[in-house]
Amino acid sequence: MTVDWTNDLRVFETGQLRTSHYLPVDLCVPDALDDAQTVFHLHGGHVPAAVDGYPESTFEPGDPPVNYVYPNNQQAGFLWYHDHSLGVTRLNVQMGLAGLYYLRDSVEDALNLPAGEFEVPLILQDRRFNTDGSFRYPSTGNDHFFGDKIMVNGKVWPYFAVKKGKYRFRILNGSGSRVYTLALSPPSGVLNFTVIGTELGLLEAPVNGVGQLTLGPGERYDVVVNFAGLNTNDEVLLENSAGAPFPNGTVDLTEVMKFLVTSPAGDTDPLPTTLRSVPLLDPNSAVVTRDFVLKRSGLDPCGRQSWLINDLGWHDISEFPELGTV
């Protein structure tokens, strides 16, 4: 697939191309610049380096379109894309520069999984708002940011009308810091998830009766939920029980969204008992063993400690893995 990425970010009031970021930029964050640059990374994509959205390969408002060709030569999976700009990724993703990217193949197509109206993305993001509806975000870089509202597919605490049958939900944690532990709260009895896939594709077989799903930022779950046994006008809540910060912080946001059961029948076909073959890597075939230590070390230009890996920063390249090795 060919994509021409175009940076057309503009000042809303005037329509002029942006020369600075909409949100406050903390210039003490290493490599952060107060402009409206962007570059996109296909998260989980098997792509050439030239189209990987390298954090320094940014383009500015008004620059010519940047042509990326995605080969899509990998098995069916549930990817997402997001801004990847050095120093301001958190700001650009906060402003909405992220989305889903489905890959399909003949193996998945042959499984008769819920499709069409019964395949629904659920992108979870937490946000804070000013009284005029604009985003409220801290002006300084922080280890954590937690919103006081949860958005699903860009709407705060929405509801979704479902038919009596199976739905395939593609769940993405698109929040910057928040971890979610999700469960379904039906009017009576127990309603569980059937997990059929994770970040990069289907499992070998469905995992039934999963009561809770915990997703860190960037994690994805591919699940099926069956509403067939519920009554018309029943309401099912998707709820969160994870603390912020995870795992021992305060459980400050519990409600995520609501499902409203309608009268028509939906997808009632049985799920397959097997999904696809998943080749496993042999740890004994590894050619090298190494440790990566993530810790605060060193100071930024404002005297604050920075997160480093093995005491090295972004510009220090120490690892050179070879294609085809474990």
Per-residue pLDDT of the chain (326 residues; tens, 9 = 90+): 999 999 999 999 999 999 999 999 999 988 899 999 999 999 999 999 999 999 999 999 999 999 999 999 999 998 999 999 999 999 999 999 999 999 999 999 999 999 999 999 999 999 999 999 999 999 998 889 999 999 999 999 999 999 999 999 999 999 999 999 999 999 877 899 999 999 989 999 999 999 999 999 999 999 999 999 999 999 999 999 999 999 999 999 999 999 999 999 999 999 999 999 998 899 999 999 999 999 988 788 888 888 899 999 889 999 999 988 99
Residue 175's identity, in one-letter code, is S
Domain at 2-109: CATH code:
2.60.40.420
CA distances (Å), origin 53, targets 49, 83, 107, 191, 262 = 8, 8, 29, 40, 43
Architecture of domain 116-265: Sandwich (2.60)
As a residue count, the chain comes to: 326
Instruction: Note whether 2-109 and 116-265 share their fold.
Output: yes
Domain residue extents for the chain: 2-109, 116-265
d(CA 84, CA 45): 14
pTM for this prediction: 0.94
With b meaning 16 or more CB within 10 Å and e meaning fewer, what string describes 196-234?
bbbbbbbeeebeeeeeebbbebbbbbbbbbbbeebeeeb
